[in-house]
Amino acid sequence: MSAAPTAASGLAEVLDGTHVAVVCGTGGVGKTSVAAALAAAEAMRGRRVCVLTIDPARRLAQALGLERLDDQLRPITLPASAAPGGALTAAMLDPQRTFDRLVEETAPDPESRDRIFDNSLYRELTRHAASVQEYMALERLYEIDRAGDFDLIVVDTPPMAHARDLLDAPQRILEFLNGRSLRWFLKPSLRMGRVGLRAVGGARGLLVQGLSRLTGAEALQDVSEFFEAFEGMYDLFGERVQVVERLLAEESTGFLVVTSPERESLTGAAEFWLSLADQGLGFIGTVVNRVEPEWPGRLRRAQDLQELGEIPDDLARRLARCLRDHQDVARRDAERIALLRDQTMGSPVASAPRMPRLEASLDGLLGLALHLYAGDA
Amino acid sequence: MGAGASHGDTSGCRVLGRFRVTEFIAGGRMRAPDGPGCPLPPPRPPGVPGLGGDPVPRVPDDPDILRVMGPAATPSPARLPFELQPRTLYVTGKGGVGKTTVAAATALTFAAAGCRTLLVEIAGHDGAAALISDRGIGYEPTTIAQSLQALRIDPDNALREYARMHLKVKVVADRLVGNPVVRQFAEVAPGFDDVLVLGKVWKLARHGDGDGERWDAIVVDAPATGHGVGLLTMVSALARAMPVGLIANQAREIHGFVRDPDRFGAILVTLPEELPVTETLDLHEVLSTEDIEVAAVVANAVLAQRFSDAEAGLLRELTEGAPDGVLGSAVGAASSELERRERQLEELARLGSTVGPMAQLPFLFADAVGRSELRVLERAARGQRPTAAASFGAAAGRGSRT
């Protein structure tokens, strides 16, 4: 197997000074497992930690000792070996519920609230609109932070191609809910009722007519009502977005980028680092997950294996081929990690080997964390 | 040759459930059968060798690389349960599973079989055509290979085309495009953009390239699952939110189109891992509920079986002796591969027990997929055996585009 982990990755030191760790990256790289593993490890070190996951595999919930994860914060039992004071709490993001709570909190009165909840577009919007999931992850982070009980909050985020998908999400939602241009556009005609659509003159009138021929006047009416419902809440919403953004910019908030050793994923990680640096946001480091172990030794001929282990000729040849394949991948992975280290100017780069499957237990998660705190996979 | 081809005589094809089993050249090449009654037209030009009744070449090292998993669990080497009836095939799946590669390869396969084929990219999810040709593509079809054209659909162009067709005043139609009000409307009205995009696909399938020539096969490289299914199911959502108007009419047309198995089918691409399999099962259920035909499920990056069960036993014995040095590495690498493959097979079994037969593409240790890998298809069509390293699965395996 691979050499035992040696030099420290530097992740532990950075995490020590971190209050909020935002874990991001593209899909399919084990982001959620990494978030849970680091949260568990930090809890074992004696901190009060909360991890907010996005759509975890059932096995991950099991690894945390839970049948399932949902919107509720649930305490996770730590082994007796945990440092005193350590505690772990986990929850799964439910964007719909988070959005509902936000509406309840910002609506000026129950009528406004119900008007939004009853609007058919609201449900569709919270389920499908771009940026909603990203923004709700941040909003939930704010909720958890406000509750105030944690030394460290680890937030998993939806898969994203670029850091700005996450960072711009709050503003994008805000602009969207504002709907200023659309409201301006629709209002005069809608005030005149459905017939009014045809009565608006000028360029705007032509556009209104064009759009309503395409979509039907009803749809325009629904959309307009949707934006009107949010009208009274817009300022409060805006304030909330600012609070969330301030939380992201705080000194004790940092971003952790998870990647696989594939070229595209690593390029994406370097881009993440750049755009976070551009915005002056804290950077915890990069985790390269699912790295091929090193498989040391050099095989000159397949026959060597045959002699070493009394292996049939035919099997020895396939074993040799297998070893060569894996060594090639390992070499490529190592080269790319070195390149990433250069590109991210000495920020911590941690790696973890590819495991056939994460062991569905807290021990399994802690094993993953051990690799991350150490330098080499 | 078009949609709705005869299903009667299947000589040259084996029918497995509702799937049409097609020869699948080892290394991941799809091979179009052309026996009488097979849904694919005869090769064009007619002289293409290798597409007749020649035996399918196989890579001897990996005899079960493409084993078909099904409830019956009868291993059937080198066969792909891919319904190759040319029609509109919508390739979708979770992000990062190799959709783009599968879409490009499927399109090339149809083209190599002489079908007039169109490869469709959707804006924001590019790259399929680039795997085949350097020629840039746009909203109008561009020829990128013999019998193969490609285009990219974006909502703005789709809206312009649609509005011009349906609104009397061209100036108004053009003003709608790129208008911030309309963009905002599109963002809140569920499925507005989706209907425009799918509507364009539908129009292409129905009317062809404008000169009245229709494509035998249209392969759509759809966005990742979240939005990819969205594209199909949002049409229903839109019908609820927007009951009248021209867009609603179009939504109804699309609703019928995507539910007609003679005209439309989905290809679900996945990886033999827990989350992708779970997501594919969800997707499969959604599509069944929506009555949309799943034409094929493709499991990508499946590790080949390198060692027999007996050899695996021998390797375990060797491991117990804790060998060091290069022997230790060799045994270690082999054991870890065996273990990974075992997990993969578990996930495939879980998937197969619901979706039935599926195609498998091999995991390749080669790095990213390139054009040369896809080109192997053409060589395969000429009857040459693809080298293992340059097989389709490389494309679909590590470091591939999605």
For residue A178, pLDDT beyond 80 = no
**What per-residue confidence (pLDDT) applies to A322?**
95
pTM above 0.95, yes or no: no
Question: Residue A139: inside a domain, yes or no?
Answer: yes
Q: Using alpha carbons, select from B325, B237, B327, B233 the residue that is nearest to residue B282.
A: B233
Q: Which residues pair with B261 in a beta bridge?
A: none
For residue B200, pLDDT beyond 70 = yes
Contact status of A267 with chain B (Cβ, < 8 Å): no
CB B365 within 8 A of CB B396: no
**What per-residue confidence (pLDDT) applies to B248?**
78
Q: Using alpha carbons, select from B97, B86, B134 the residue that is nearest to residue B223.
A: B97
Mean pLDDT confidence for A148-171: 90
C-alpha A347/C-alpha A134 separation (Å) is 25
More confident residue, A133 or B68: A133
pLDDT band (50, 70, 90) for residue B309? very high
**What per-residue confidence (pLDDT) applies to B324?**
83
**What per-residue confidence (pLDDT) applies to A195?**
47
Looking at the fold, whether A157 and A197 belong to one and the same domain comes out as no
More confident residue, A326 or B163: A326
A283-315 exposure pattern, b = at least 16 Cβ within 10 A, e = fewer: bbbbbbbbbbbbbbbebeebebbbebbebeeeb
**What per-residue confidence (pLDDT) applies to B233?**
65
Q: Phi then psi for A244, rounded to 5 degrees?
A: -60, -45
Q: Which residues contact B7 (CB under 8 A, 6 or more apart)?
A: B37, B39, B85
* Cβ <8 Å between A26 and B95: yes
**What per-residue confidence (pLDDT) applies to A86?**
96
Q: Which of A218-222, A253-257, B225-229, B343-347 has the lowest mean pLDDT?
A: B225-229
Q: Using alpha carbons, select from A22, A18, A48 the residue that is nearest to residue A35.
A: A22
Q: What is the 3-state secondary structure (H, E, C) of A78-92?
A: CCCCCCCCCEEEEEE
Q: Which residues contact B47 (CB under 8 A, 6 or more apart)?
A: none
| Partners of residue B327 in chain A, C-beta under 8 Å | 297, 305, 308-309
Question: Residue A5: inside a domain, yes or no?
Answer: no
Checking DSSP bridges between strand B142-145 and strand B29-30, what pairing results, if any?
Answer: unpaired
Q: What is the 3-state secondary structure (H, E, C) of chain A?
A: CCCCCCCECCHHHHHHCCCEEEEECCCCCCHHHHHHHHHHHHHHCCCEEEEEECCCCHHHHHHCCCCCCCCCCEEECCCCCCCCCCEEEEEECCHHHHHHHHHHHHCCCHHHHHHHHHCHHHHHHHHHCCCHHHHHHHHHHHHHHHHCCCCEEEEECCCCCCHHHHHCHHHHHHHHHHCHHHHHHHHHHHHCHHHHHHHCCHHHHHHHHHHHHHHCHHHHHHHHHHHHHHHCCHHHHHHHHHHHHHHHHCCCEEEEEEECCCHHHHHHHHHHHHHHHHCCCCEEEEEEEEECCCCCCCCCCHHHHHHHHCCCHHHHHHHHHHHHHHHHHHHHHHHHHHHHHHHCCCCCEEEEECCCCCCCCHHHHHHHHHHHHECCC
**What per-residue confidence (pLDDT) applies to B10?**
30
Greatest mean pLDDT range, A46-60, A83-97, B12-26, B180-194? A83-97
Boundary residue ending a domain (A200, A231, A262):
A231
| Partners of residue B97 in chain A, C-beta under 8 Å | 28
Name the percent of chain B lying above pLDDT 90: 25
Looking at the fold, whether A160 and A187 belong to one and the same domain comes out as no
Interface of B with A in 144-183 (CB under 8 A): 162-163, 166-167, 169, 171-173, 175-176, 179-182
Quote the domain boundaries for residue A205: 176-231
Q: Measuring CA to CA, how many Å separate A269 from each of A20, A251, A261, B263, B391? A: 19, 21, 10, 41, 28
Mean pLDDT confidence for B343-357: 93
Mean pLDDT confidence for A186-200: 55
Q: Which of A102-116, A266-280, B172-186 has the lowest mean pLDDT?
A: B172-186
Looking at the fold, whether A281 and A300 belong to one and the same domain comes out as yes
Which amino acid belongs to residue B149?
A: Q
Neighbours of A143 (CB within 10 A): 17
For residue B172, pLDDT beyond 80 = no
Looking at the fold, whether A30 and A96 belong to one and the same domain comes out as yes
More confident residue, A39 or B83: A39
Looking at the fold, whether A354 and A305 belong to one and the same domain comes out as yes
Mutant choice from A215, A230, A260 vs B, greatest count of B C-beta within 10 A: A215
Looking at the fold, whether A72 and A27 belong to one and the same domain comes out as yes
Looking at the fold, whether A132 and A187 belong to one and the same domain comes out as no
* Element housing B234 (H / E): helix B225-241
pLDDT in tens, A234-278: 888 889 999 999 999 999 999 999 999 988 788 888 888 889 988
For residue B384, pLDDT beyond 60 = no
* Cβ <8 Å between A176 and B94: no
Q: What angle do CA B395, B400, B402 make, to 5 degrees?
A: 110
Contact status of B370 with chain A (Cβ, < 8 Å): no
More confident residue, B382 or A364: A364
User: CA of A248, closest CA in chain B: separation in Å?
Assistant: 26
**What per-residue confidence (pLDDT) applies to B374?**
47
**What per-residue confidence (pLDDT) applies to A376?**
46
Mutant choice from A55, A123, A128, A292 vs B, greatest count of B C-beta within 10 A: A128
C-alpha A216/C-alpha A204 separation (Å) is 17
Interface of A with B in 107-126 (CB under 8 A): 120-121, 124-125
Question: Residue A188: inside a domain, yes or no?
Answer: yes
CB A56 within 8 A of CB A67: no
C-alpha A170/C-alpha A242 separation (Å) is 9
How high is the mean pLDDT of chain A?
85
Number of cross-chain residue pairs from A and B with Cβ atoms under 8 Å apart: 199
Contact status of B278 with chain A (Cβ, < 8 Å): yes
Contact status of A216 with chain B (Cβ, < 8 Å): yes
* Cβ <8 Å between A214 and B307: no
Q: Which residues pair with B51 in a beta bridge?
A: none
For residue A72, pLDDT beyond 60 = yes
For residue B49, pLDDT beyond 70 = no
C-alpha A196/C-alpha A189 separation (Å) is 5
**What per-residue confidence (pLDDT) applies to B237?**
65
Neighbours of A80 (CB within 10 A): 5
CB B367 within 8 A of CB A359: no
Looking at the fold, whether A92 and A161 belong to one and the same domain comes out as yes
User: CA of A57, closest CA in chain B: separation in Å?
Assistant: 6
Q: Which residues contact A156 (CB under 8 A, 6 or more apart)?
A: A23, A31, A32, A35, A36, A51, A52, A53, A54, A56, A93, A137
More confident residue, B399 or A29: A29
A327: domain CATH number? 3.40.50.300
Question: Residue A330: inside a domain, yes or no?
Answer: yes
**What per-residue confidence (pLDDT) applies to A189?**
55
Minimal-distance CA residue of chain B relative to A261? B399
pLDDT band (50, 70, 90) for residue B59? very low
| Partners of residue A321 in chain B, C-beta under 8 Å | 306
Looking at the fold, whether A254 and A127 belong to one and the same domain comes out as yes
Please provide the size of chain A in residues.
377
pLDDT in tens, B101-136: 888 888 888 888 888 999 999 987 778 888 888 899
More confident residue, A180 or A221: A221
Structure tokens at B129: 């055509």
What total number of domains does chain A contain?
Answer: 2
**What per-residue confidence (pLDDT) applies to B70?**
24
CB A207 within 8 A of CB B173: no
- Indicate whether this complex's ipTM tops 0.90: no
Structure tokens at B57: 């070449």
- As a whole number of Å, the end-to-end CA separation of chain A is 11
Q: Which residues pair with A256 in a beta bridge?
A: A23, A285
More confident residue, A230 or A21: A21
**What per-residue confidence (pLDDT) applies to A277?**
87
Q: What angle do CA A103, A254, A274 make, to 5 degrees?
A: 105
Question: Residue A236: inside a domain, yes or no?
Answer: no
More confident residue, B83 or B344: B344
CA A342 to chain CA mean position, Å: 25
Helix, strand, coil fractions of chain B, as percent rounded to 5:
40, 15, 40
Question: Residue A238: inside a domain, yes or no?
Answer: no
Alpha helices for B272-384 (secondary structure H): 274-289, 309-320, 325-355, 371-381
pLDDT in tens, A287-339: 999 999 999 999 888 888 887 777 888 899 999 999 999 999 999 999 999 98
* Domains in chain B with CATH codes: 14-396 (3.40.50.300)
Mutant choice from A211, A225, A266 vs B, greatest count of B C-beta within 10 A: A211
Q: Using alpha carbons, select from A165, A176, A326, A157 the residue that is nearest to residue A258.
A: A157
Contact status of B35 with chain A (Cβ, < 8 Å): no
Mean pLDDT confidence for A26-45: 92
CA B340 to chain CA mean position, Å: 25
**What per-residue confidence (pLDDT) applies to B229?**
61
CB nearest A181 (choices: B184, B367, B401): B184
**What per-residue confidence (pLDDT) applies to A226?**
80
For residue B51, pLDDT beyond 60 = no
Q: Which of B111-115, B268-272, B296-300 has the lowest mean pLDDT?
A: B111-115
The SS3 of residue B31 is coil
Name the percent of chain A lying above pLDDT 90: 45
Q: Using alpha carbons, select from A69, A74, A115 the residue that is nearest to residue A93.
A: A69
Mean pLDDT confidence for B263-274: 91
Mean pLDDT confidence for B146-167: 89
Looking at the fold, whether A211 and A148 belong to one and the same domain comes out as no
CB A337 within 8 A of CB A9: no
Looking at the fold, whether A131 and A227 belong to one and the same domain comes out as no
Looking at the fold, whether A35 and A154 belong to one and the same domain comes out as yes
Which amino acid belongs to residue B125?
A: H
| Partners of residue A26 in chain B, C-beta under 8 Å | 95-96
Please tell me whether the peptide bond between B45 and the residue prior to it is cis, using omega within 30 degrees of 0.
yes
Contact status of A96 with chain B (Cβ, < 8 Å): no
* Cβ <8 Å between A215 and B339: no
Structure tokens at B362: 């091999």
Where do we find the tokens 């839109």? B238
For residue B42, pLDDT beyond 60 = no
pLDDT in tens, A135-149: 999 999 999 999 888
CB nearest B242 (choices: A1, A215, A323): A215
| Partners of residue A328 in chain B, C-beta under 8 Å | 365
pLDDT band (50, 70, 90) for residue B144? very high
Q: Measuring CA to CA, how many Å separate B177 from each of A38, A54, B165? A: 47, 36, 13
Mean pLDDT confidence for A23-52: 93
Minimal-distance CA residue of chain A relative to B194? A128
C-alpha B182/C-alpha A207 separation (Å) is 9
| Partners of residue A226 in chain B, C-beta under 8 Å | 188
Question: Residue A131: inside a domain, yes or no?
Answer: yes
* Cβ <8 Å between B95 and A159: yes
Checking DSSP bridges between strand A152-156 and strand A74-76, what pairing results, if any?
Answer: unpaired
Interface of B with A in 317-356 (CB under 8 A): 318, 323, 325-334, 336-337, 339-340, 342-343
User: CA of B96, closest CA in chain A: separation in Å?
Assistant: 7
User: CA of B240, closest CA in chain A: separation in Å?
Assistant: 9
More confident residue, A234 or A22: A22
Q: Measuring CA to CA, how many Å separate A226 from each of A113, A215, B180, B185, B261? A: 12, 16, 17, 11, 37
* Cβ <8 Å between B169 and A215: no
CB A73 within 8 A of CB A183: no
* Cβ <8 Å between A322 and B330: yes
C-alpha A246/C-alpha B88 separation (Å) is 48
Question: Residue A305: inside a domain, yes or no?
Answer: yes
| Partners of residue A319 in chain B, C-beta under 8 Å | 330-331, 334
User: CA of B120, closest CA in chain A: separation in Å?
Assistant: 22
* Element housing B14 (H / E): strand B14-16
* Element housing B241 (H / E): helix B225-241
